[in-house]
């Protein structure tokens, strides 16, 4: 058996369903892998954790992969598995009807007071014909609790919100929440979950990672083909989290987000890098060939 520790990007939730199914159905063990899912107690620096030998593989988003590589970290992405609609969430009573109405608003985002929130919101404002600078926004850090930040009047808009989670959550809590999608307002669509490791581990454990992807793909097939059984597996693994109306709604919104296409293109990362460089999120462009490979998913 090969021990494989997978670091989650957030607390255990329906986004991680393919891996839970592989565990519960015994497919990982049948393939010779003992998979451990590591749920972070707080925000996880996955690249450092991999470098320290605390895990072999982790889940992140394309934006963070590019950030890490631009800093010079030894990291490589090799598969995506989920693609949701992400963007900026707001409450309709905040006086926002279109993106340029966000000028001067308070932005909630986990990296505050870093440049990420104003870069996203500012791009949307300009795409809608408005004008602004980063100093036109107040920066709020309420961790990943986007909905709470809006409901507690700590912020006017929240990013980065996933439509299948935060928007569903906010509406369930009885508020009139709305959403500007990244892809509709000039921001590269980076609301995708990908797998990363180090280049050295990718070479050393290539067969293990190949097997990981095969079982992950089988899990995604199962989710789409047997949704009721997939729901039951998740509910059991999470101690009946789907017994609530909100848990069920988030689960149902997440299932369509699992993709059969694990690859990512050079054009996509080129666009993402260009936007990040333009908004001072990275100092230099590392180039996709230095941090992403489709070798395991396109053969």
Report how far residue 75's alpha carbon sits from residue 91's, in angstroms, rounded to the nearest whole number.
Answer: 38
Question: For residue 204, what are the domain limits?
Answer: 2-83+191-279
Asked whether residue 150 carries a pLDDT value surpassing 80, the answer given is yes
Report how far residue 273's alpha carbon sits from residue 95's, in angstroms, rounded to the nearest whole number.
Answer: 33
Tokens of 197: 């490791």
Output the pLDDT for position 119.
Answer: 97
- Shared domain for 275 and 217, answered yes or no, is yes
Asked whether residue 50 carries a pLDDT value surpassing 70, the answer given is yes
Output the pLDDT for position 239.
Answer: 87
Asked whether residue 249 carries a pLDDT value surpassing 70, the answer given is yes
CA angle 254, 255, 261 (to 5 degrees): 105
pLDDT interval class at 11 (50, 70, 90): confident
- Shared domain for 71 and 120, answered yes or no, is no
The count of domains in the chain is 2
Query: Residue 72 has what DSSP assignment?
Result: T
The answer to whether 59 and 9 are in contact (CB under 8 A) is: yes
Report how far residue 236's alpha carbon sits from residue 243's, in angstroms, rounded to the nearest whole number.
Answer: 10
Radius of gyration of the chain (CA): 19
Q: Is 126 helix (H, G, I), strand (E, B) or coil?
A: helix
Report how far residue 21's alpha carbon sits from residue 176's, in angstroms, rounded to the nearest whole number.
Answer: 34
Between 76 and 111, residue with greater pLDDT: 76
ω into residue 80 within 30 of 0, thus cis?
Answer: no
Within-domain flag for 64:
yes
Output the pLDDT for position 42.
Answer: 65
* pTM confidence score: 0.94
- Shared domain for 31 and 10, answered yes or no, is yes
Output the pLDDT for position 45.
Answer: 82
- Give per-residue pLDDT as tens, 178-188: 999 999 999 99
pLDDT interval class at 295 (50, 70, 90): very high
Output the pLDDT for position 41.
Answer: 72
- Give per-residue pLDDT as tens, 216-242: 999 999 999 999 999 999 999 998 888
- Shared domain for 161 and 244, answered yes or no, is no
Mean pLDDT to the nearest integer, 36-45: 80
């Amino acid at each position: 058996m090969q021990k494989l520790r997978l670091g989650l990007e957030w607390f255990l939730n329906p986004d991680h369903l393919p891996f839970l199914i592989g565990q519960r159905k015994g497919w990982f063990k049948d393939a010779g892998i003992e998979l451990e899912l590591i749920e972070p107690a707080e925000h996880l620096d996955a690249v450092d954790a991999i470098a320290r030998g605390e895990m072999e593989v982790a889940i992140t988003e394309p934006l963070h992969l590019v950030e890490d590589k631009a800093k010079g970290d030894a990291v490589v992405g090799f598969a995506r598995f989920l693609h949701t609609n992400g963007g900026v969430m707001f409450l309709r009573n905040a006086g926002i009807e279109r993106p340029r109405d966000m000028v001067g608003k308070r932005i909630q985002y986990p990296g505050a007071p870093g440049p990420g929130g104003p870069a996203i919101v500012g791009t949307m404002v300009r795409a809608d014909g408005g004008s602004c600078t980063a100093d036109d926004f107040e920066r709020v850090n309420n961790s990943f609790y986007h909905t709470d930040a809006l409901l507690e009047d700590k912020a006017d808009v929240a990013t980065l919100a996933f439509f299948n989670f935060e928007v569903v959550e906010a509406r369930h809590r009885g508020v009139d929440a709305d959403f500007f999608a990244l892809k509709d307002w000039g921001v590269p669509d980076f609301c995708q979950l990908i797998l990363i490791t180090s280049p050295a581990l990718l070479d050393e454990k290539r067969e293990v990672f190949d097997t990981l992807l095969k079982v992950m793909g089988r899990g995604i097939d199962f989710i789409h083909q047997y949704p009721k059984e997939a729901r039951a597996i998740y509910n059991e693994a999470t101690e009946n989290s789907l017994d609530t109306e909100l848990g069920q709604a988030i689960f149902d919104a997440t299932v369509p987000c699992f993709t059969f296409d694990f690859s990512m293109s050079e054009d996509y990362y080129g666009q993402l890098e260009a936007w990040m460089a333009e908004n001072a999120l990275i100092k230099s462009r590392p180039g996709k060939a230095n941090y992403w490979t489709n070798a395991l998913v396109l053969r």
